Structure 1
Amino acid sequence: MERLMGGGVLQLLLASAGVLLLYRILVRLRPGAPLKDAVVVITGASSGLGKECARVFHAAGARLVLCGRDAARLEKVVQELTACSTGSQKQTYTPSTVIFDLADTDTVDRAAEEILKCYGQVDVLINNAGISYRGNILDTHISVHRDVMETNYFGPIALTQALLPSMIRRRSGHIVVISSVQGKIAIPYRSSYAASKHATQAYFDCLRAEIDRHGIAVTVISPGYIRTNLSVNAVTGDGSKYGVLDKNTAMGRDPSDVAQAVLKAVRQRSKDVVLAGPLPCLAIYLRTLWPALFFKLMSSRARKEQKPKDE
């Protein structure tokens, strides 16, 4: 192994792994922040990970503001949460809803005003809504790149910036963004998606540094594949739906498990969390420490796929 990777690179990987292990141990010992009565805003709350986040934060006693484009689907989530809490000894709150399209940034300021009217403040903002993409760059129209960026990047930062002044005035708040492992490494046939998530990672890393003095936390969560309809609803190069539950997505993490990890990250005010298996985590290190090998592996993957089929 040492011959293959080179002694220096191997030592760096082992040292990094040791530091990461120590960090995780210290994080487990750190007391979690209480969420009872906290006002938690979740975008993309009508399905998938957003819906599961609504479940776990509702069970924790948070006052929820659920956001999405479809009023009927959001109302169904509210009814399900209310039914689940019936008879429970824990105090829970009936969630509020705010309907808007995150991709239409012109409506975000109005939506932020509605969100603040619900409880007068926002303690935790979870930027979860997003769209995926499957396509060959050569066959992808520039409008598709723009549409993915509007939903995955411009929408979340517009909402964050609209709510941020209220947090700064209170010197309290927590901003969470659900990014992706593809915000740290780029793989073939995901250009629009990976680009939007790389931009997201960079923006919220900058934001964390700039608002730390105001007592506001920023958490970037980067999951691998999650067992949701993200790939089914993904757009292709011509803007049409991909319409396929691909193999890796079908074998991905249970969204309820990821939601619990989000809850834990919020309680511990974590800064950057990668929720992925050993290979994606190794790829992240490889991209930094041995980029030539990483690029070679990605080129080989692209040649094998030729086009995005069952990935």
Structure 2
Amino acid sequence: MESLRTSQLQLVAGIAFGSVGLLWLLRRLTLRRKISGLQGQVVLITGASSGLGEACAHAFYKAGSKVILCARRVNELERVKNELISLDLTTTTHPPHVLPLDLEDLEGIPAKAAKALALNDGGVDILINNGGMGFRGTVLETELSVQQKVMKVNYFGSVALTKALLPSMIAKGGGHIVALSSVQGKFAIPFRSAYAASKHAMQAFFECLRAEMAQHNVLVTIISPGYIRTNYSYNAVTADGTPHGEMDATIASGMSTDYVAERILHSIVKRQPDVIIGPLYLRMLIYIKAFLPSLYAWVMALRARGGRK
């Protein structure tokens, strides 16, 4: 009797584990099929000369997309382009395009958008607003011009490029816009006022855009990652506009760019509207701010008194 019961339990356990394995396999196959739909799609990536933008270029190029690489540093864009071309891939690929773009030059962005649309007969299918800059400094010491510069690059540049490409997406019956925000677009921490303000603005703008574009089949995905292992803090500006020139410990121990780029690609094919990428404690901070604002204020004040930048 005991052996029969044991056999029954083993059978149930085997069926359960088998079902979980089958479900996992089906999900992977479905995801792979959706990723194959990126083949031939035109993907424009800002900030593609390094870091996360470069990793996104690799991810979408490997998926068979027609990649347009945008940033200020032409030499670095050419390096990324050559590295993509040199990859030994079995999938069908398309030669990447290099398009110099300065997000701070708001007046010149419409002309750059027109050039991007002219590169491919189908226009731009996916826009990844990744370009931006970091910031370190106190509110009291930060010059207004620095606040304006960060807002211009991180927020208005993405808004201008998005608005320049939107009419073509609507005309062709759809598209997908990705806004690389940050968890600091959902909660602010001390000594990041300019950066957090720009990401809060980005969060609000693209939430409005998502609602307004639903009727036009233009999807909007907002990505809010935590710390990513890049040179972002090293290149960040300080209160007087000079480079920070230091690698923060939190950045150095952050997520890899390849991992985040893969998550971005998956969020696009899954048509996810809002994605948070990072460890559990970041999600907890978002919930604490929403449901325990006094506790959140105390934690941030404690951090500010500690002088942690």
Name the TM-score, length of structure 2 as normaliser: 0.88
1:30-45 equivalence runs, <5 A = 32=34, 34-45=37-48
- Equivalent of residue 202 in structure 2, options 200, 203, 209: 200
1:153-164 equivalence runs, <5 A = 153-164=155-166
- Equivalent of residue 146 in structure 2, options 141, 144, 147: 144
Structure 1 CA distance for aligned equivalents of residues 230 and 61 of structure 2: 20
Give the superposition deviation at 1:299.
0.5
* Correspondence for 1:12: none
Q: Helix, strand or coil: the match of 2:204?
A: helix
- Equivalent of residue 69 in structure 1, options 60, 69, 72: 72
Is 1:125 aligned to residue 127 of structure 2? yes
CA RMSD of the aligned region, Å?
1.3
* Correspondence for 2:4: none
Name the TM-score, length of structure 1 as normaliser: 0.88
Structure 1 CA distance for aligned equivalents of residues 90 and 263 of structure 2: 24
* Correspondence for 1:281: 283
Larger C-alpha radius of gyration, 1 or 2? 2
Q: Helix, strand or coil: the match of 1:45?
A: coil
Structure 1 CA distance for aligned equivalents of residues 74 and 282 of structure 2: 36
1:201-216 equivalence runs, <5 A = 201-216=203-218
Structure 1 CA distance for aligned equivalents of residues 280 and 264 of structure 2: 19
* Correspondence for 2:304: 302
Structure 2 CA distance for aligned equivalents of residues 72 and 283 of structure 1: 40
Give the superposition deviation at 1:89.
2.4
Give the superposition deviation at 1:278.
0.8
Structure 2 unaligned regions, length at least 5: 1-23
* Residue type of the alignment partner of 1:147: K
Give the superposition deviation at 1:211.
0.5
* Residue type of the alignment partner of 1:190: R
- Equivalent of residue 49 in structure 2, options 37, 46, 49: 46
> How many residues are treated as equivalent by the alignment?
279
Q: Helix, strand or coil: the match of 1:72?
A: helix
* Correspondence for 1:254: 256
Give the superposition deviation at 1:167.
0.3
Structure 1 unaligned regions, length at least 5: 1-24
Give the superposition deviation at 1:220.
0.3
- Equivalent of residue 190 in structure 2, options 188, 198, 201: 188
Q: Helix, strand or coil: the match of 2:208?
A: helix
* Correspondence for 2:235: 233
Q: Helix, strand or coil: the match of 2:235?
A: coil
Q: Helix, strand or coil: the match of 1:41?
A: strand
Structure 1 CA distance for aligned equivalents of residues 99 and 296 of structure 2: 43
